[in-house]
């Protein structure tokens, strides 16, 4: 680790400096009196930028002006009708009139006055056309951005049977509107910042004032401000830059593309980070229990949800331990298997040339590869892969005598179990941890499995997510918080918010007590 | 500088810790065995060979891969045996085992051995030394069932049951049905080391095969009564009926059907035993040793072919009285044989006396062999019929009129 750090520090000085220099010429320059000079500076900044349009025109037949925008980012039709037309057709233009008054003449809702060249560039790059007028030291930016965007669709990565069908999209404003439509209260705050030297990506920190703790908001803001990076193309960039323990296999920031999940996290006192350009928003802090909670848990009736949650817990362990337990028992503890089962396994294993551990590895790796291939390939080919995969894993491998049918069963149940984890990132962590435990089980038997489990538990106990212990409400045991971990308490009983997230504010009460429904409670 | 030196120190410490962890792994793999390398032993037989040595026979599972099923399932499935029997001689079981290992390509695996059959000849000479191997060696199961076979134990292992996969499973299933006694190696060891110094072990006899088909000439083992051991030597044999009688005082009677006939009636009443609890109440009075066998049993009527109407408490009482008599008759039958003929205290009377009169026992324990046959046994049996079942009295009466 040391080695890397030294190298990085000494290495990145030189090229980084150079780039900032070229960019930093611009900020300090205010808009010049002479418009041509401004245009010169901008043109030099936008050398070889074929998509930047400089449209020069005259106002009132005499005053020279220029409209600058990036083609494809702005609504040119509206600009023509609402901005250019009234200005060009103006019969008399008083050169002494202030720029503010000019802006009032424009029939556009979002108009702002800007003063520096940097602002000009900023406005242009987010799609707001800028008008510069000769002899004026200010410019007008017109809020008419327009670009092609995807419509709101069903979230693909997190599908539910019951629940809202809309998912976040790539445009941050659409995403904030989706959130705002769910939480209308003005306490929902959305702090904006820009990250990425070149991408200048908009990042919005959303939280509910009064529910989310101030330290948490501050910590999230600090960590985001610390990021110095060339570009943010997906929320994964940010996730990796703000994690507590970058070497942990477990995700410490949740990601979701469902507005309802984001909204429910906000209501619990978490912070949601929206990033422009990706439908995946980040939720912090994240606890281990929340990895095993599906959005649908909260939409179905609580008995069903509790049952499904337990099923998920059970299969979490199966996903983690089934192959290693099988290997351990079959190579070290044959006496543990019931006699008739051992005989059946012995029969099916008789032709297998590999030790159980190797056999398990072959199957698990094949399975993981098939799954990965199924994701990467285009949909039409993906179906073919899964059919071939099922044949390879299920039928051909056993008939060829490469793997025993019992092992196929184990791998299949493990595969199904790993699909039960609602969070994809958690699923990957479990899939990954399966392999070291399998090696341990092959070396030390059940003792090795236990060692692996202990190591994982110890690790889970040590990590934190934004100051919240990862195993919160399980490891620092809080009985009342287990209402949303061990079971899914009915909504009329979930009267308090998870206290680890909003302790300092002291407003844990979510709703009044005694809302359990029943017949003739109303009194009428 | 401070920081980097501290970091280096931390790195050093973590390296040492990592090495310690790796050392842990060095212990691994030494006892790793694949299932393919195991000779899974399903049953073991111990005999005295012609050369007066210990003959150890094992029934080894042959892990033939399961047949494809479609083509030749019927023709070969029933005939082909899934097990083989190998035997070797030695001075002790362990010695024989090492000889046996020479004949087997795979490592002998005791972990699944659930049946131990002792030949009659060996049982009569004493089994203590053989049981020692089972208790002392860490691999064999202490919960394996023990049997004494009428002829050589090897013959039992070689026999082919018709319904079950192999003779090991056949014996286990028979003994699990709780009709006779069930004795594991651990029980046997406890019985032999107990105060009474007597034991009872299920007795395996041969049943000739039902059909004259494929298994012609091969016998099927089944349980017929029990062998009685005094000390570690077999002294006698109890029939099936007598064996049932010893289950009551041993508090092992858990299920069974009792059929009785009441006085003056033509038909029978059959009752199913639901629960029973037995206690031994020892008493020493004026140097006279006596024991009261207390029995509490709950039964239900499952068939009534007599004219008795069980809806009336009077007739129910009559049935109960008859059941009590029946139970006590069975107990007496078994007790008289073991007490008078075999002089083997297989009921745990010795423990009962020891528990109640520890001081007297300390003095008299050496004389138990003389005392036991003279112990006075009384019975106190309480029977409770809790369900009489559905009864159609009218139909019964109608039958009378005709």
Nearest to B34 among A347, A348, A355 (CB): A355
Mean pLDDT of chain A: 84
Structure tokens at A334: 């044959």
Alpha-carbon distance B111 to nearest alpha carbon in chain A (angstroms): 5
- What Cα–Cα distance (Å) separates residue B237 from each residue in B149, B230, B289? 11, 11, 26
Angle, CA B219 vertex, CA B187 and CA B110 arms, to 5°: 40
Residue ranges of domains in chain A:
23-142, 172-286, 312-469
Bigger pLDDT: B371 vs A5: B371
CB–CB of B27 and A2 under 8 A?
no
Task: List CB contacts (< 8 A) between B82 and chain A.
Answer: 343
CB–CB of A451 and B7 under 8 A?
no
- Per DSSP bridges, beta strands A139-142 and B269-285 are unpaired
Q: pLDDT tens, B276-306?
A: 888 888 888 888 889 998 989 999 988 888 8
Please report the pLDDT score of residue A278 as a whole number.
92
Structure tokens at A271: 């912070």
Nearest CA in chain B to A442: B29
Helix axes of A172-182 and A259-268: crossing angle, nearest 10 degrees: 60
HEC per residue, A404-459: CHHHHHHHHHHHHHHHCCCCHHHHHHHHHHHHHHHHHHHHHCHHHHHHHHHHHHHH
Contact B221, B375 (CB under 8 A): no
State how far the Cα of A477 lies from the Cα of A481, in Å rounded to an integer.
8
Interface test with A, best of B5, B7, B10, B35 (most A CBs within 10 A): B35
Nearest to B114 among A339, A347, A349 (CB): A339
Structure tokens at B401: 């009129």
CB–CB of A448 and B29 under 8 A?
no
CB–CB of B31 and A332 under 8 A?
yes
Q: pLDDT tens, B89-102?
A: 999 999 999 999 99
Alpha-carbon distance A17 to nearest alpha carbon in chain B (angstroms): 27
Task: List CB contacts (< 8 A) between B31 and chain A.
Answer: 332
Per-residue confidence band for B71, with pLDDT thresholds at 50, 70 and 90: very low
CB–CB of B35 and A345 under 8 A?
yes
Task: List CB contacts (< 8 A) between B32 and chain A.
Answer: 331-332, 355, 442, 445
Nearest to B65 among A330, A350, A445 (CB): A350
Q: How distant is the alpha carbon of residue B8 from its chain centre? A: 66
Helix axes of A446-462 and A424-444: crossing angle, nearest 10 degrees: 140
CB–CB of A352 and B36 under 8 A?
yes
**What domains sit in chain B, N to C, each tagged with a CATH number?**
34-63+81-238 (no CATH), 241-402 (3.30.300.210)
Bigger pLDDT: A61 vs B53: B53
Beta bridge partners, B378, equal B292
Alpha-carbon distance A179 to nearest alpha carbon in chain B (angstroms): 45
Task: List CB contacts (< 8 A) between A455 and chain B.
Answer: none
Please report the pLDDT score of residue A450 as a whole number.
94
Alpha-carbon distance B61 to nearest alpha carbon in chain A (angstroms): 8
Per-residue confidence band for B155, with pLDDT thresholds at 50, 70 and 90: confident
The residue assigned the tokens 């192999």 is: B166
Please report the pLDDT score of residue B388 as a whole number.
82
User: What ipTM is given for this predicted complex?
Assistant: 0.76
Interface test with B, best of A332, A339, A351, A357 (most B CBs within 10 A): A339
Task: List CB contacts (< 8 A) between A445 and chain B.
Answer: 28, 32
Beta bridge partners, A201, equal A195
B→A contacts (Cβ < 8 Å), by residue, are: 4, 7-8, 11, 24-25, 27-29, 31-36, 38, 40, 42, 61, 63-66, 82, 109, 111-112, 114, 139, 141
CB–CB of B111 and A335 under 8 A?
yes
Please report the pLDDT score of residue B211 as a whole number.
54
Q: Within 13 A of B106's CA, how many CA atoms are on the CB side?
A: 18
Contact B378, B292 (CB under 8 A): yes
- DSSP helix/strand/coil, B106: coil
Please report the pLDDT score of residue B265 as a whole number.
73
- What Cα–Cα distance (Å) separates residue B287 from each residue in B284, B290, B359, B360? 6, 10, 13, 10
Contact A286, A251 (CB under 8 A): yes
Q: pLDDT tens, B229-268?
A: 888 888 888 888 888 888 888 888 878 888 888 777 778 8
State how far the Cα of B244 lies from the Cα of B247, in Å rounded to an integer.
5
Task: List CB contacts (< 8 A) between A348 and chain B.
Answer: 65-66
Q: pLDDT tens, B300-326?
A: 988 888 877 788 888 888 888 889 998
Please list the ranges in chain A whose pLDDT falls under 50.
1-21
Please report the pLDDT score of residue B96 as a whole number.
92
CB–CB of B31 and A443 under 8 A?
no
The residue assigned the tokens 């038997």 is: A445
Nearest partner of B139 among A334, A165, A153, judged by Cα? A334
CB–CB of A339 and B42 under 8 A?
yes
Interface test with A, best of B15, B34, B111 (most A CBs within 10 A): B34
Q: Is the pTM of this model over 0.90?
A: no
Is residue B70 scored above 60 in pLDDT?
A: no
Nearest to B36 among A2, A344, A350 (CB): A350
Please report the pLDDT score of residue A16 as a whole number.
44
Structure tokens at B398: 């109608």
Please report the pLDDT score of residue A20 as a whole number.
47
CB–CB of A346 and B64 under 8 A?
no
CB–CB of B66 and A451 under 8 A?
no
Contact B354, B368 (CB under 8 A): no
Nearest to A347 among B33, B42, B66 (CB): B66
The residue assigned the tokens 């901005």 is: A83
Please report the pLDDT score of residue B33 as a whole number.
84
CB–CB of A334 and B109 under 8 A?
yes
A→B contacts (Cβ < 8 Å), by residue, are: 2, 330-332, 334-335, 339, 342-352, 355-356, 442-445, 448, 451
Nearest partner of B384 among B305, B314, B304, B323, judged by Cα? B323
Number of A/B CB contacts below 8 angstroms equals: 75
CB–CB of A343 and B61 under 8 A?
yes
CB–CB of A351 and B7 under 8 A?
no
């Amino acid at each position: 680790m040391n080695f890397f750090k030294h190298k990085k520090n000494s290495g990145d000085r030189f090229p980084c400096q150079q780039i900032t220099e070229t960019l930093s010429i611009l900020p300090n320059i205010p808009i010049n009196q002479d418009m041509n000079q401004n245009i010169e500076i901008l043109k030099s900044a936008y050398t070889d930028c074929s998509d930047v349009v400089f449209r020069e025109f005259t106002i009132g037949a005499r005053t020279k002006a220029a409209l600058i925008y990036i083609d494809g980012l702005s609504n040119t039709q509206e600009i023509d009708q609402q901005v250019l037309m009234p200005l060009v057709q103006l019969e008399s233009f008083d050169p002494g009139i202030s720029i503010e008054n000019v802006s009032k003449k424009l029939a556009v809702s979002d108009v702002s006055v800007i003063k520096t060249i940097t602002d000009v560039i900023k406005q242009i790059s987010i799609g707001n056309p800028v008008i510069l007028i000769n002899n004026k030291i200010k410019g007008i930016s017109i809020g008419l951005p327009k670009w092609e965007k995807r419509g709101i669709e069903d979230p693909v990565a997190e599908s539910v049977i019951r629940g809202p069908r809309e998912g976040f999209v790539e445009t941050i404003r659409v995403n904030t509107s989706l959130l705002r439509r769910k939480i209308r209260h003005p306490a929902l705050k959305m702090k904006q910042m820009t990250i990425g030297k070149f991408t200048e990506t908009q990042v919005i920190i959303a939280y509910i004032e009064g529910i989310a703790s101030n330290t948490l908001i501050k910590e999230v803001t600090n960590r985001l401000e610390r990021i110095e990076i060339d570009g943010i193309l997906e929320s994964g960039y940010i996730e990796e830059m703000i994690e507590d323990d970058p070497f942990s296999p477990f995700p410490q920031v949740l990601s979701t593309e469902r507005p309802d999940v984001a909204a429910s996290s906000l209501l619990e006192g978490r912070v949601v980070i929206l990033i422009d350009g990706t439908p995946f928003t980040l939720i912090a802090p994240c606890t281990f229990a929340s990895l095993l909670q599906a959005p649908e848990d909260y939409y179905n009736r609580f008995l069903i949800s509790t049952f499904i949650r337990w099923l998920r817990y059970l299969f979490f362990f199966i996903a983690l331990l089934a192959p290693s337990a099988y290997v351990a028992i079959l190579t070290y503890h044959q006496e543990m298997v019931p006699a008739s089962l051992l005989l059946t396994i012995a029969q099916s294993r008789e032709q297998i040339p590999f030790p159980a551990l190797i056999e398990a590895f072959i199957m698990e790796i094949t399975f993981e590869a098939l799954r990965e291939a199924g994701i990467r390939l285009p949909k039409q080919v993906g179906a073919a892969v899964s059919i071939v995969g099922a044949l390879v894993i299920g039928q051909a491998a056993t008939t060829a005598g490469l793997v025993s049918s019992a092992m196929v069963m184990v791998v299949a149940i493990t595969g199904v179990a790993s699909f039960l984890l609602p969070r994809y990132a958690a699923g990957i962590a479990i899939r990954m941890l399966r392999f070291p435990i399998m090696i341990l089980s092959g070396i030390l038997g059940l003792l090795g499995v236990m060692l692996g489990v202990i190591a994982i538990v110890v690790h889970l106990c040590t990590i934190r997510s934004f100051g919240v212990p990862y195993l919160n409400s399980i490891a620092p045991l809080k009985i009342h918080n287990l209402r949303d971990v061990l079971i899914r308490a009915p909504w009329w009983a979930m009267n308090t918010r998870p206290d680890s997230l909003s302790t300092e504010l002291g407003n844990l009460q979510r709703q009044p007590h005694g809302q359990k429904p029943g017949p003739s409670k109303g009194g009428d | 500088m401070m920081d980097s030196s501290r970091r280096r120190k931390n790195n050093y410490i973590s390296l040492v810790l990592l090495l310690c962890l790796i050392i842990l792994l060095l212990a691994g793999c030494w006892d790793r065995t694949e299932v393919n390398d195991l000779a899974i032993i399903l049953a073991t037989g111990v005999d005295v060979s012609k050369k007066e040595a210990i003959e150890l026979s094992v029934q080894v599972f042959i892990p033939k891969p399961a047949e494809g099923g479609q083509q030749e399932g019927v023709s070969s499935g029933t005939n082909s045996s899934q097990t083989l029997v190998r035997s070797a001689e030695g001075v002790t079981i362990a010695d024989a085992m090492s000889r046996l290992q020479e004949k087997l390509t795979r490592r002998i695996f005791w972990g699944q051995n659930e049946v131990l059959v002792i030949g009659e000849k060996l049982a009569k000479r004493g089994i203590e030394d053989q049981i020692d191997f089972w208790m002392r060696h860490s691999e064999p199961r202490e919960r394996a069932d023990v049997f004494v076979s009428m002829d050589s134990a090897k013959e039992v292992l070689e026999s082919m049951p018709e319904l079950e996969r192999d003779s090991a499973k056949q014996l286990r299933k028979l003994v699990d049905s709780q009709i006779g006694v069930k004795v594991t190696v651990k029980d046997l060891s406890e019985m032999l080391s107990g105060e009474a110094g007597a034991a009872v072990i299920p007795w395996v006899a041969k049943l000739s095969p039902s059909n004259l088909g494929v298994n012609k000439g091969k016998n099927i083992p089944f349980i017929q009564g029990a062998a009685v051991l005094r000390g570690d030597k077999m002294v006698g044999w109890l029939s099936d009926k007598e064996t049932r009688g010893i289950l009551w005082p041993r508090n092992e009677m858990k299920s069974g059907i009792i059929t009785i006939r009441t006085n003056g009636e033509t038909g029978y009443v059959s009752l199913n035993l639901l629960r029973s609890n037995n206690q031994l109440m020892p008493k020493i009075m004026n140097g006279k040793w006596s024991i009261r066998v207390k029995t509490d049993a709950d039964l239900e009527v499952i068939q009534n072919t007599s004219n008795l109407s069980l809806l009336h408490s009077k007739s129910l009482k009559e049935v109960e009285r008859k059941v009590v008599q029946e139970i006590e008759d069975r107990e007496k039958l078994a007790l008289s044989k073991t007490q008078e003929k075999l002089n083997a205290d297989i009921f745990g009377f010795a423990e009962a006396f020891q528990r109640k009169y520890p001081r007297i026992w300390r003095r008299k324990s050496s004389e138990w062999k003389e005392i036991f046959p003279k112990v006075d046994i009384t019975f106190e049996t309480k029977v409770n019929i809790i369900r009489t079942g559905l009864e159609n009295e009218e139909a019964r009466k109608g039958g009378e009129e005709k």
